[in-house]
Structure 1
Amino acid sequence: MSFVGESNYWLDTAGPAPTDEGRAMPAKVDVAVVGAGYTGLAAALSLARAGRSVAVFDAEAVGFGASSRNGGMVGPGLHKLGIGGLVRTYGEERAIAILGEGLKALDHLEGFVAEEGIDCDLAMTGRFRGARTAAQYEASGRECDWLQAKIGLPTHHVSRADQRSEIGSDFYRGGVVYERDGGVNPRKLLLGLAARAAEAGVQIIAPCAVTGLQRDGSVHTVQTARGAVEAREVVLATNGYSDARSAALSRRVVPLETGACAVGPLSPEQMAELTPKGRMHGETGRVFMWYRPTPDGRSFIFGGRFGAGGMGLEARRRAFRRAICRVFPQLETAPISHVWSGQIAYTADHSPHLGQHDDVWMAGGYCGSGVTRSLYFGSKLARRMLGQADADTAFDTLPFKPVPLRPLAPLAAGMLVRWYQMQDNRELRARE
């Protein structure tokens, strides 16, 4: 979803999406991929390099969705249940495996960017996560120690007295630093991935909406806006943009709208004050804000659910300004140069998934941590389709069930977010 007047910072810092002008529609392919974002293109690249004929379709331009709209923050992508929730749900051994998979995904991303020579401004600067309350600081510290002991994630505590060494704000009650986090220009990563896929022989056909899928025996008929294509296998990689046209995945995820804005340009002195070490940033809380310096070090990008929900552009700007000034009052008059929005996908168990369901392959449900996971899951999905070794992940045995009462799920999610915001605000008032 997008709104009139929106502008996306990443689109202004990278080239246009590749087009398929003049390309003839294939009559048959080995694999049809629906969705030309990170997941779909990563799967297509691996499949094509293994000798499969692959066509990727998207209703919009290549990378129209979350792959060009996210914050470009990368890391092991922990888990929305938190460590305690994971251990209670799956037991400690399984929780360690799930969290350890995030480190494997991050290693994959770093290796892929280096091996493919993709210029996407990847910088592993670490992430400071501020604690909104003293109790959250203590809980974050315990999680920090657990992660370091159990999966070897390098982290350290930052007291409130020392937090100015990490952030130009007195809002937090201390925090933690995750050393294995970093940032990319997500649009540049997307375009580099698309270029490698095209070089491998992938036919990227976009914009060209898939309007229906049918299966007759071993053959899928993929109905598109430009005609039908036969495929032996189908991959759904539409994630937060899934709908009735990709029903098998749409039934299993809940799309949520998020917002982002860019503040700047700022002076070098302002940037150095806001983030002395150039880190990525986040915070505790149920409805939280993430933020980061842009790769060129001239602006700051802020994002979260607070700037979303169908409000108009000016209302979104005001919501961003309030959230930003809560942490950085010195940015009260700083220019907001870009405002944009996008869709992410949540799942009923707060976990991402990949596998074969309803006769099609799919991967998604990244729950807002998709940059690292999507490339990894796309590659793993391709390996599984090819019957190759090293296709397993710690998520494989988690059932990917349809969301109960799926048509009502976005409304319920919106109500839950508002309830969480009320709880967050109550905790903030209580700390004063």
Structure 2
Amino acid sequence: MSDDPARNYWRDGREVYVPRAHPRPETVDVAVVGSGFTGLRLALDLARGGRSVAVLEAEDIGHGASSRNGGMVGPSFHKLGMAGLTAHYGAERAAAIMTEGMTALDDFEAFLAAEGIDCGLTMAGRFRGAPTAASYEATARECERLEKAVGLPYEMVPRARQQDQIGSDFYRGGVVYLRDGMIQPRMLVEALARRAEDAGAMLFERTPVSGLTREAGGVALRLPDGVMRARDVVMATNGYGAAQATAPLGPRVVPILTGVAATEPLSANLMGELTPQGRAFGENRRVFMWFRPTPDNSRFIFGGRIGPMRAGDARRARAVRAAATRVFPQLEGVNFSHLWTGKIAYTQDHAPHLGRIDGVWYAGGYCGSGVTRSLYFARKLALKILERPGSETAFDGLDFPRIPFRPFAPLAAAAVTRWSALRDVIDDRRRD
């Protein structure tokens, strides 16, 4: 799969972001490794807090998931759900973690408004389809728990009223998450980068970090042509970066490759048929697909662990078309103009994490739901580094286990994905 930015719909036609030129300093207050949403928001807040900040990016600014994701925003609830969290942490901690998902979304909207950032935000809601009657009932029960615990606004949609939400007969009803929305993620990357530089942060592209050495008073970062020393170091690489070079985050997350595709332009009538309310979509499956209209409502974008990620464009397009027409038979014969991939980062406990281990700060492991959470975690981590009030989160103190046999974890994850996809196919054939 080509890594040409033109293959990525979010970047196609946009000018390349070029950071301002700076001589690279030998010493800074804070070195941030990674220039995605987390790293750039951190750099912005830290620079405004009076720290000298260098953002070190191995590729170009926003190269990773922040420029490759679906641009879907929402409360980013924990993957285990209320029942799973309660069993693991108890009712009080579970409710606090879930409540913070709602808080992160509020913070995200407030930040965009305060900064005057235009990234195509529209809070149109998201319909999540249930492929079986049993999954519909399970979704309803989970939403009831979330409404009671954190005030989640939602609407259950039975199969008889499904066509009001989606131009498909595939699902057996579903739920509308009323507080979900969509953005153009590359626009947000560029806006964060500009504001971080305006605040005084220095952004350095093509500057991979190959390792860290703890020293008295800080950390030395090994760069291709020398060493940079920093009092504080933050790993904000999420699913990107070598495990050992990006410790402590790298050894504790599993990078999983996902694929995304954008259709050719579609007619206004067809777009209105596919999404009557202009909503985004997801589904309650083991290996789920997300899909959404583009901000100009001219195309549809599909994403997830769909087909062979490292195959050529023709094979990838066939796999995406098969997944898309499973839901929307109307798209049979439609071509895909853009095909790209990206890495998400999963953790052993299915939770995102932030904190400090062995003198190095980190934030990441968003498990595929990082748009709102990444900016929120960045703000909280900046407050911790600045030693200012308001830094506390419900995620503080959560154990962050290493991934056993980390070098082999991506292979294991791929095998689990294939098995889970097979089980989804079996369920499709057996459903009522």
Q: Is the CA contact (8 Å cut-off) linking 1:77 and 1:369 kept in structure 2?
A: yes
In structure 2, what is the equivalent of residue 225 of structure 1?
224
Q: Does 1:266 align with 2:266?
A: yes
Q: Is the CA contact (8 Å cut-off) linking 1:48 and 1:202 kept in structure 2?
A: yes
Instruction: Say which is worse superposed, 147-156 or 191-200, in terms of deviation.
Output: 147-156
The 1:411/1:178 distance shift into structure 2, 3 A limit, reads same
What's the TM-score once normalised by structure 2's chain length?
0.97
Instruction: Output one character per residue of 1:4-27: Cα deviation in whole Å (capped at 9) or x when no partner.
Output: 79700000254322234x421112
**SS state at 2:210 partner:** strand
Distance in 2 (alpha carbons) for counterparts of 1:226 and 1:125: 48
Distance in 1 (alpha carbons) for counterparts of 2:420 and 2:346: 16
Instruction: Say which is worse superposed, 161-170 or 8-17, in terms of deviation.
Output: 8-17
In structure 1, what is the equivalent of residue 112 of structure 2?
113
Shift of 1:2: 5.1
In structure 1, what is the equivalent of residue 208 of structure 2?
209
In structure 2, what is the equivalent of residue 73 of structure 1?
72
Q: Does 1:93 align with 2:97?
A: no
Aligned pairs, how many? 431
Distance in 2 (alpha carbons) for counterparts of 1:370 and 1:115: 21
What's the TM-score once normalised by structure 1's chain length?
0.97
**SS state at 2:155 partner:** strand
Shift of 1:393: 1.0
Q: Is the CA contact (8 Å cut-off) linking 2:146 and 2:152 kept in structure 1?
A: yes
Shift of 1:418: 1.2
Q: How does 1:3-402 map to 2 (within 5 A)?
A: 7-12=7-12, 14-20=14-20, 22-243=21-242, 244-402=244-402
Instruction: Output one character per residue of 1:168-213: Cα deviation in whole Å (capped at 9) or x when no partner.
Output: 0000000000000000000001100111100000000112112222
Q: Is the CA contact (8 Å cut-off) linking 2:236 and 2:363 kept in structure 1?
A: yes
Shift of 1:3: 5.0
Q: Is the CA contact (8 Å cut-off) linking 1:257 and 1:308 kept in structure 2?
A: no
Distance in 2 (alpha carbons) for counterparts of 1:398 and 1:190: 29
Distance in 1 (alpha carbons) for counterparts of 2:255 and 2:176: 30
**SS state at 1:296 partner:** coil
Instruction: Say which is worse superposed, 417-426 or 294-303, in terms of deviation.
Output: 417-426
**SS state at 2:214 partner:** strand
Shift of 1:219: 2.7
Distance in 2 (alpha carbons) for counterparts of 1:4 and 1:49: 34
Shift of 1:98: 0.9
Letter in 1 for 2:285: G
Instruction: Output one character per residue of 1:279-338: Cα deviation in whole Å (capped at 9) or x when no partner.
Output: 110001100000000000100110000145422222111110000000000001112110
Shift of 1:396: 1.0
Distance in 1 (alpha carbons) for counterparts of 2:223 and 2:160: 59
Shift of 1:261: 0.3
Structure 1: runs of 5+ lacking an equivalent: none
Shift of 1:413: 1.0
Identity of aligned residues (%): 55
Shift of 1:278: 0.5
Shift of 1:423: 1.4
Distance in 2 (alpha carbons) for counterparts of 1:307 and 1:226: 40
Distance in 2 (alpha carbons) for counterparts of 1:72 and 1:307: 21
Which ranges of 4 or more aligned residues in structure 1 deviate by more than 3 Å? 1-6
Q: Is the CA contact (8 Å cut-off) linking 2:6 and 2:13 kept in structure 1?
A: no
Distance in 2 (alpha carbons) for counterparts of 1:278 and 1:57: 38
**SS state at 1:124 partner:** coil
In structure 2, what is the equivalent of residue 427 of structure 1?
427
Letter in 2 for 1:173: R
Instruction: Output one character per residue of 1:154-181: Cα deviation in whole Å (capped at 9) or x when no partner.
Output: 1011010100000000000000000000
Distance in 1 (alpha carbons) for counterparts of 2:2 and 2:17: 18
Aligned-CA RMSD value: 1.4
Q: Is the CA contact (8 Å cut-off) linking 1:38 and 1:371 kept in structure 2?
A: yes
Shift of 1:230: 1.6
Instruction: Output one character per residue of 1:356-390: Cα deviation in whole Å (capped at 9) or x when no partner.
Output: 01220000000000111111111111111111111
Q: Is the CA contact (8 Å cut-off) linking 2:6 and 2:12 kept in structure 1?
A: no
Instruction: Say which is worse superposed, 195-204 or 400-409, in terms of deviation.
Output: 400-409
Q: Is the CA contact (8 Å cut-off) linking 1:6 and 1:313 kept in structure 2?
A: no
